[in-house]
Structure 1
Amino acid sequence: MTYALQWLLSLIFIIQMYVAMLVVGVLYFPYALIKRDGALAACHAYCAWVLFSLRILTGMKTEVRGTPPTHPVLIAAKHQSFLDILMIFNAVPRGRFIMKKELTYAPILGWFGLRIGCIPVDRGKRGAAITKMKADVKSGLLHPGQLIIYSQGTRVAPGVKAPYKAGTAALYLQMGQDCVPVATNVGVLWPKRGIMRKRGTAVVEFLPTIEPGLKGAAFMERLEREVETASDALMAEAGFKFPT
């Protein structure tokens, strides 16, 4: 398949992806307004459609490895593009995210995000943001599920190094729950920016559970080592050439 044709199919996919967000949002709005489960159902339906249309239009397959948790747990994930958000959420029954505050103003996405229990964080105010995040998480424990945080705080392109943020350790210590690390290679095929969606297999991998009880520094060292090692292996599997 030529580059031009793959680019065109990628563009068609992106356009219909946003049209689908509008359609699903409108169809599920009454149910979501009445019950939180309605918002969760809407988000799962949207994720399923995007993953299906991605494969049909662009030839990109998606694969979930490991065992997605179904009990209340902290999920600490690698973040490379919008695709890992969809894949992780679609793999768990009651997911909700620590998300940047700006997303709450996005049409449809922002309202449904808040409705499923996502917790907005102002990334520009680090100390105050962590304090507020911990308070919001504490109040949100009334709605048990899988709390998903991106430990580097933003999308990080393949091959780029970025520090892991202290907020993940703060939640791990506060919640006293299992933490499930998640590695990914999705950025190799669905980049942080741009139109092109490449053929291949995008993977998110749920790694072995980190049980509660570690000190904050020991937890962060283990989390970063395991996620980065597994993500590097997945990216190499997808054909990514690391800088030398």
Structure 2
Amino acid sequence: MNRLRSWLFDAAFYGGSIPFVVLAPVSALFGQAALKAHVMGWLRWHRLCARTIMGMRSRVEGVAPAEPALYVAKHQSFYETFELGLILDAPLIVMKAELMEIPMWGWAARKYGMIVVDRSGSGAALRRMLREAAAAREAGRSVLIFAEGTRVLPGETPPLRPGFAGLYKALRMPTVPVALDSARVWPRRGPKHPGTVTFAIGEALPPGLPRDEAEARIHAAINALEPAFRIG
């Protein structure tokens, strides 16, 4: 049954996403407000498919700050890349450069202000990412980064990628960790399952902390729902 539901979800979500992707450049022509509304519509379509077809729900623990912030999240599945956009009110996402090569959608994503990270880690790529992040700060927009760099399995706690430290220093924003457990219902392989995904929004770190301290505190906080970090 879960395998059938997974197939139905994929057919409905990806099929329904075609108009959103194709029409994104059109929305971009009408400015940021129109493009944000377009993006939020796509995020809501994902939530509707996840809830009605897969029986997935989200539970949020903690409160996001009212002011713009740098959000640093765990990454276990495709689910949070959409759901966090709704929970955090459409932050700009730090995304891999390959996604910007998608015809039409990549252009619209740049117009929206998405921040590109080149995982080759070159100095030029890092400087470009920091310039784009600075533009987001000046515009008063929040930023979301999956700082471990890729999806991980439950219990895996790889170190943060260097891009986090650069963003933390450059943005000078409150930095908010987000732990989650989406892989319980959306595993990397095999069918998806009904269930509730917890998003634990942690305590904001102030800007200006030493790099080692900021990385250690954020790393522990985004892994707060992982077995290795559970207390008791």
Aligned residue runs from structure 1 range 188-207, under 5 A: 188-192=184-188, 194=189, 196-207=191-202
The list of structure 1 runs, each at least 4 consecutive aligned residues, that deviate by more than 4 angstroms after superposition, is: 26-29
Aligned residue runs from structure 1 range 11-30, under 5 A: 11-26=7-22, 29-30=25-26
1:195 to partner: Cα distance: 5.2
* Equivalent residue, structure 1, for 2:217: 222
Deviating more after overlay: 201-210 vs 16-25: 16-25
Q: What is the aligned-residue RMSD (CA, Å)?
A: 2.1
* Equivalent residue, structure 1, for 2:117: 121
Can you list the C-alpha shifts for 1:80-113, whole angstroms capped at 9, x where unaligned? 1111111111112341111100001224543442
1:73 to partner: Cα distance: 1.1
Alpha-carbon distance change, 26 to 167 in structure 1, aligned in 2, over 3 angstroms = closer
Contact 1:70 1:92 in 2 (8 A): no
Counterpart check, 1:209 vs 2:209:
no
Task: Tell me how far apart the structure 2 counterparts of residues 28 and 161 of structure 1 sit (CA, whole Å).
Answer: 35
Contact 1:21 1:108 in 2 (8 A): no
Contact 1:70 1:93 in 2 (8 A): no
Can you list the C-alpha shifts for 1:193-224, whole angstroms capped at 9, x where unaligned? x4511111112221111111211111001111
Task: Tell me how far apart the structure 1 counterparts of residues 99 and 23 of structure 2 sit (CA, whole Å).
Answer: 21
Contact 1:24 1:42 in 2 (8 A): yes
Aligned residue runs from structure 1 range 27-42, under 5 A: 29-42=25-38
1:38 to partner: Cα distance: 1.6
* Equivalent residue, structure 2, for 1:142: 138
TM value normalised by structure 1: 0.85
Task: Tell me how far apart the structure 2 counterparts of residues 28 and 130 of structure 1 sit (CA, whole Å).
Answer: 27
Pick the aligned partner of 2:97 from 101, 126, 150: 101
Contact 1:58 1:198 in 2 (8 A): yes
Alpha-carbon distance change, 143 to 19 in structure 1, aligned in 2, over 3 angstroms = farther
Task: Tell me how far apart the structure 2 counterparts of residues 126 and 211 of structure 1 sit (CA, whole Å).
Answer: 28
SS at match of 2:225: helix
TM value normalised by structure 2: 0.89
Q: Percent identity?
A: 28
SS at match of 1:141: helix
Task: Tell me how far apart the structure 2 counterparts of residues 178 and 14 of structure 1 sit (CA, whole Å).
Answer: 36
SS at match of 1:49: helix
* Equivalent residue, structure 2, for 1:242: none
* Equivalent residue, structure 1, for 2:85: 89
